[in-house]
């Protein structure tokens, strides 16, 4: 892997950070207009709040310094150990998972550097950064290694306890997770039910002292064993209601990995240094998070937007890894008297990779922005004791919550699928060498595939998005309001207007399909058109925000991206037309 600072060596990422993010909006959404943490530090001297910013500029400089440190550690340490960790892999021996030494070394390095708790509030030892920064964090780290990224990303599940747990739980578990004394895992999936979480069968029985005992089995639990000698906190979905009570009978629990059995680990095609565990609960002691009955409907699903943004960012990181490794190889490999980056077919792939990464980053950033613009305001209201019904009446929260619930599945689907495509192109650039384990691109390709599966498959993301698109584009819908608000900021190109018209037509055609199964089977076409339109809108907003010098870099990327998008949208609308009319193609 290339050895460099994976933040500062990426010119497009630096352009995005420096010019394309409205940091004033994001920082104030996270900190509040009063920068309450900084004020509290002045009043109390609480060292947890020592780095709390008192202005937007201070916050941005803190983000920049953190990402520079992360980029340095990722490019010079994580990336250089990635192949070794992958080839050594994990071993399972009598209930114990044995990690590569490099994995343990890196975990200790990140713990010593204070870079682990990026998604945890300052009050409990975290770095206290918004989703808009966390997306960049995961992009950088994943360029180094997807498997190690999983270790840190899952640890930040502690934010669920921060939001819904008791103060005692926050002090007992969250502070220790922030310090790297526990890792984290989400124990939802069961062997027989997969994504059908409403049918979870793991049983929780309340004890006389108010604690619970859990019995059951969970499968495909990433990092469920902890790492090395560091145990794990399993946030576990279990049934407190009757077997027929569905989602309303499920509650969320804190369980230590020292109180469960690891029955085995999966042997996977990729992410070889990230354990995927089968976890057995046998009368395991547990503490409930929040109230009974809200484990799935409120607590687990409430964190879904964050999880989707994280996986979208992993897709961007995979794309970066494939692109930079492919570019390095192409500029060094000579064929027919010239380096292969000068061969039109290879240059075409490299150009495609770069513009797709740019679009993926814009989309992931916008999904993160939507999360930031509702979540932190909502949490402040919850902390103040405001009733939930009153919080739901807040117009800004309602709008951005709905927007996030659409943009996060769009970004998760698009970036995970495109990450696989770019990893394939990166391997193709390497030719036969790319198919061997001599080059890192083989591992990158293998690792890319998981992103389309976990945290909800691509197909589930389409199901999650289609209703938001069709309802959101109604006369007074939230998606239409978002589009109108954004288009009011700049003058849209004819191409963007054409794409918007194609989106409108795709939705109308989709709605006209009478057969429900046929309609559902063509939801992807509508989702793809909506995603390409949204990415083009974000490209044009980027052109509006960027400096003149930066526009010169963005324009050629956008021109070809628009051509690609119109062609894809035309194909999608044709498929929808055929589905709606049941016509035979002219050539048949």
455 is catalytic: yes
Residue 32 CA to residue 29 CA, distance in Å, equals 6
Q: Exposed, middle or buried by CB within 10 Å (0-12, 13-18, 19+), for 193?
A: middle
Catalytic residue among 287, 356, 417, 455: 455
Nearest-angstrom CA–CA distance, 395 and 478? 11
**Residue 153 phi, psi (nearest 5):** -60, -40
Can you say whether the dihedral through the CA atoms of 503, 504, 507, 509 is positive or negative? negative
Long-range contacts of 89-96 (CB under 8 A, 24+ apart): 89/272, 89/273, 90/265, 90/272, 90/273, 90/275, 92/262, 92/264, 92/265, 95/261, 95/262, 95/263, 96/225, 96/262
**For residues 303 and 296, what is the distance between their CA atoms, to the nearest angstrom?**
10
Is residue 434 within 8 A of residue 297, CB to CB? The reply is: no
Structural Rg of the chain based on CA atoms: 24
CB atoms within 10 A of CB 286: 25
Cβ contacts of 240 within 8 Å, gap of 6 or more: 204, 206, 212, 249, 250, 251, 292, 293, 295
Task: For residue 57, give the H/E element and its range.
Answer: helix 56-73
DSSP-derived secondary structure for 71-102: HHHIIIIIHHHHHHHHHH--EEETTEEEPPHH
Q: Write the CB contacts of 191 (distance below 8 Å, at least 6 apart in sequence).
A: 217, 219, 278
Among 388, 447, 382, 455, which Cα is nearest to 420's?
447
Contact 561, 359 (CB under 8 A): yes
Rounded Cα gap, residues 530 and 577, in angstroms: 16
What is the H or E stretch that residue 431 is in? none
The burial of 357, by beta-carbon neighbours within 10 Å (0-12 exposed, 13-18 middle, 19 or more buried), is given as: buried
32: left (phi over 0), alpha (psi -120 to 50) or beta: left
Which residues are annotated as catalytic?
A: 455
């Amino acid at each position: 892997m290339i050895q460099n600072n994976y933040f500062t060596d990426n010119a497009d990422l630096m352009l995005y950070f420096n010019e394309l993010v409205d940091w004033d909006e994001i920082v104030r959404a996270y900190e509040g207009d009063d920068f309450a943490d900084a004020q509290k530090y002045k009043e109390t001297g609480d060292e947890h709040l020592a780095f709390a910013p008192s202005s937007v500029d201070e916050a941005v400089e803190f983000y920049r310094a953190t990402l520079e440190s992360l980029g340095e550690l990722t490019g010079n340490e994580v990336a250089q150990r990635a192949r070794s960790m992958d080839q050594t892999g994990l071993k399972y021996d009598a209930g114990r998972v044995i990690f590569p030494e490099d994995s343990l070394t890196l975990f200790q390095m990140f713990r010593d550097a204070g870079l682990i708790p990026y998604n945890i509030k300052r009050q409990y030892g975290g770095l206290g950064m918004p989703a808009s920064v966390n997306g960049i964090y995961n992009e950088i780290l994943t360029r180094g290694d997807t498997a190690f990224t999983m270790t840190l990303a899952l640890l930040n599940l502690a934010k669920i306890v921060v939001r819904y747990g008791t103060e005692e739980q926050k002090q007992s578990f969250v502070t220790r997770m922030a310090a790297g004394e526990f890792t984290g895992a989400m124990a939802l999936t069961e062997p027989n039910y997969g994504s059908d979480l409403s049918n979870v069968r793991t049983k929780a029985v309340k004890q006389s002292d108010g604690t619970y005992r859990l019995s059951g089995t969970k499968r495909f639990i990433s990092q469920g064993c902890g790492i090395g000698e560091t145990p794990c906190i399993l946030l576990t979905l279990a049934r407190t209601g009757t077997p027929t009570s569905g989602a309303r009978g499920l509650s969320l629990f804190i369980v230590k990995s020292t109180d469960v059995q690891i029955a085995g680990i999966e042997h996977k095609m990729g992410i070889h240094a990230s354990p995927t565990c089968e976890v057995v609960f046998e009368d395991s002691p547990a503490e409930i998070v929040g109230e009974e009955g809200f484990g799935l409907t409120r607590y687990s699903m409430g964190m879904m937007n964050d999880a989707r943004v994280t996986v979208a960012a992993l897709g961007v990181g995979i794309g970066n890894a494939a692109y930079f490794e492919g570019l390095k190889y192409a500029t060094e490999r000579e064929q027919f008297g010239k380096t292969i980056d000068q061969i039109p077919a290879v240059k075409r792939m490299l150009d495609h990779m770069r513009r797709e990464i740019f679009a993926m980053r814009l989309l992931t950033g916008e999904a993160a922005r939507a999360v930031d613009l509702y979540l932190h305001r909502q949490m402040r209201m919850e902390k103040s004791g405001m009733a939930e019904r009153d919080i739901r009446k807040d117009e800004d929260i309602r709008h951005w919550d709905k927007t996030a619930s659409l943009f996060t599945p769009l970004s998760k689907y698009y970036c995970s699928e495109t990450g696989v495509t770019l990893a394939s192109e990166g391997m193709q650039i390497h030719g036969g060498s790319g198919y061997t384990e001599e080059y890192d691109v083989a591992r990158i390709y293998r690792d890319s595939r998981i992103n389309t599966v976990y945290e909800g498959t691509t197909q589930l993301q389409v199901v999650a998005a289609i209703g938001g698109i069709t309802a959101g584009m109604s006369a007074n819908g939230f998606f239409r309001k978002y589009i109108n608000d954004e288009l009011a900021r700049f003058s849209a190109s004819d191409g963007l207007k054409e794409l918007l018209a194609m989106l409108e037509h795709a939705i109308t055609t989709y709605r006209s399909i009478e057969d429900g199964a046929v309609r559902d089977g063509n939801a992807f076409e509508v989702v793809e058109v909506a995603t390409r339109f949204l990415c083009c809108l974000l490209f044009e907003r980027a052109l509006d925000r960027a400096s003149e010098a930066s526009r010169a870099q963005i324009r050629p990327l956008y021109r070809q991206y628009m051509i690609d998008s119109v062609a894809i949208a035309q194909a999608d609308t044709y498929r929808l037309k055929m589905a709606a009319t049941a016509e035979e193609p002219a050539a048949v």
